[in-house]
A and B are shown apart, each in its own frame.
Chain A
């Protein structure tokens, strides 16, 4: 017996308990950090068929979001523009640029440009762009500073927690309606809060938190 279990065995339980505690903390912290959308989704930046730069078009040239995403004010869906929208300018500007070949092909054949979707909500989540932008929630709030992105990346976690944070307390993210598409607009935080509360009251914003608001 005693040769099978040398004396140091008696210290094992303490060591095992300590080891388990440490590994439990490490594993939880690891899962918390690495396996949540804040890490796993933020920063997603796929290579697109056409290296369209929002920084150039929005940041430098001052294009309005709605020039391309025409449906955002009136539908649940912020549409991807058809290639003809690109050709409005690019039939004159850089008409033979090789980067734009997929666009020209698409106009000719009618086959859509295979853009890679970056922001997606689960099938069981209903999200409406129109109700958000028409009540003073800016594009920036969810998509980040698009005007500075050469290539679009996933900026926010867009988890349920992300939605809920704003739905429970919308005031900090409500801005004047004429500034919704202004990517660079900022307000003094104290005044913003006051203005936001007033907007929530005046525009009767009822950001619901019941389940069926999003899971219909």
Chain B
């Protein structure tokens, strides 16, 4: 498509940047807004492809097997597992840590890369966040069934009960409950909030009534109003800010499950950063394993480009090297610390009865990602796919090595043993892949797997200050709608003048003109948030941050108060001679509650300031307005505005560049 054409006018006198400094485009071939929404939404529309069924049926079968195994476990007892003295943390804990680790890529991509302004994240964040949620669901199963009496699992939550006792908040296992459930909830909120504009796109494209209704219901009446975008973006930023420490805290707390106990091989301070690096490593491994086939099968090679794959390969290289460093450092400290038990544990880890697992881990986690130093390998999709599977295997073995090798050699040689899983262990674990893939495939078919609105905002046309932002010839011709052909009876009350614009540059300059003309009751509607539009409209800074702040402060204070009340006042529980209350041990849970209520505050603040959900909106009556979630931009000036006059306002909008101005009705 016209690669040189747009440069002709705008770039005529500008010096050409050297080719090696030019950024590779995030969407190849200069695609238009319409192409992006058509192509991405097509995956969730139309007939179900054969490959989908071919993947879905075995996944469901595996998922059913997982639930059968869990049913067998609960009805029979934990004796059906291989866990026994001395290895009492077997597959369940290994798999829990494995899945939780995988769940770290999504929030990392959506939050940390967002804060770091890595715009390539837009093509992969939706799928990665979905993967996170499903992985955390798989992870959550294991502690639940590991407690033995799964129906008593509610005792983990601080709910008043007739035993008059409260959870013991000095235990990292308790912190885990809060960390993982907060992580799941916040990830889900983040994911859903990102979905809202795209669900509106799906709603406006839907052909059948039931699809229109369901997408409409979940889109909460999103119109793409810039007053809404302003609050939405603030809430998104706040959620990203909250999720960043959250994602780091979750795997740190998971690592504390191990490192707080005084067991050689577990009791080390390197565990939290080492676990977080490993989690990101495994998460990106899983993202690549999923997205390399998906981009091919769904025909999205131009959106999830080789550059995206390459960048993720670099993340794997970096985190894989950190993991390798941590392995080396564990050995060094075991030697340098001079503790004979530590030394024994690590010698035993590499050369003992589980040496085979250790060397699988080292091969997959330390050696194989080093191949990503080579650009040829980073850009070879088959190689990346195979290496990403290696990462998954290696990270599972890492958890196996950590859990099993430290436990199977006790301080008393009489307790030594060898752990092997039973078929129930193995089938439950394999079954969780079924659950994971089933959910992921359902996600592919029902929800846009790439953030449509966000991708539109990172292509050159989406930037009003970019030369391509004002280029019209790239837009496909619009079928001209017959103006006022089916004008209804004049009984309807007029709402205001709705003007349509075609490019991001046009809408931004038009917004400036409307603002300068002194209008108050007006709004801009766009398919994606446009950079600088808030200033053009003269909007004040969004107040969403305050909602989140109040939520966070409430969360922190109520967490501290709750723990003091439960463990020190209402039931003074003495554990190991530790103080009844200390802000140090109360911190992890209070921190998680800060994040949780802060996130609730951000989302609630976004909905309240935006007056959403608002399913019934007079603007939806306009057929033309349905394109606001697709490729068109609108300005609405309401009749309620004191300066409104039908002729003058219409003149202003037409002068601003709109070719279609219509009267919207109440």
A residues bordering B, Cβ < 8 Å?
A: 1-2, 4-10, 12-13, 32, 36-38, 157, 159-161, 164-165, 210
Contacts and interface: CB of A to CB of B under 8 A. Distances in A.
B574 A210 contact: yes
Contacts of B512: none
Given A5-B615, A9-B616, A210-B574, A159 B162 contact: yes
A120 to B, nearest CB: 15
B162 A5 contact: no
Nearest to B620: A1
A9 B574 CA distance: 53
Interface stretch (B209-217, B352-360, B634-642): B209-217
B579 interface: no
A90 B78 CA distance: 52
B615 A161 contact: no
A159 B212 contact: no
B75 interface: no
Contacts of B221: 5, 10
Given A1-B216, A1-B621, A210-B574, A6 B616 contact: yes
Given A1-B216, A160-B162, A164-B164, 14 more contacts: A1-B212, A2-B616, A2-B620, A2-B621, A4-B213, A5-B620, A10-B221, A10-B613, A12-B615, A157-B162, A159-B163, A160-B163, A161-B163, A161-B164
- Size category of the binding interface on chain B: 20 to 34
A210 B572 CA distance: 10
A2 B618 contact: yes
Contacts of B161: 36
Nearest to A211: B573
Contact of B162 (A1, A7, A161): A161
Contacts of A8: 616
B396 to A, nearest CB: 35
Contact of A36 (B162, B203, B617): B162
Nearest to B165: A160
Contacts of B160: 32
B614 interface: yes
Interface in B603-617: 613-617
A165 B127 CA distance: 53
A36 B162 CA distance: 6
Contacts of A2: 616-618, 620-621
A9 B615 CA distance: 6
Interface in B153-177: 160-165
A142 B460 CA distance: 79
A135 to B, nearest CB: 22
Contacts of A1: 203, 212, 216, 620-621, 626
19 contacts: A1-B212, A1-B626, A2-B618, A2-B620, A2-B621, A6-B616, A10-B221, A10-B616, A12-B613, A13-B613, A32-B160, A38-B162, A157-B162, A161-B162, A161-B164, A164-B164, A164-B571, A165-B164, A210-B574
Contacts of A157: 162
Contacts of A165: 164
A4 B613 CA distance: 15
Given A10-B614, A13-B613, A4 B163 contact: no
A4 B206 CA distance: 13
Interface in B576-631: 613-618, 620-621, 626
A10 B574 contact: no
A4 B209 contact: yes
Contacts of B165: 160
A5 B217 CA distance: 9
A47 B645 CA distance: 87
B164 A159 contact: yes
Contacts of B620: 1-2, 5
Contacts of B164: 159-161, 164-165
A36 B163 CA distance: 10
Contacts of B617: 2
- Which of A4, A32, A160 has the largest number of chain B CB atoms within 10 A? A4
A37 B614 CA distance: 46
A7 B221 CA distance: 12
Contacts of A38: 162
Contacts of B162: 36-38, 157, 159-161
A157 B571 CA distance: 19
A168 B489 CA distance: 79
B520 to A, nearest CB: 23
A5 B612 CA distance: 14
Nearest to B574: A210
B277 to A, nearest CB: 38
A210 B617 CA distance: 62
B380 to A, nearest CB: 47
Interface in B114-153: none
A13 B164 CA distance: 36
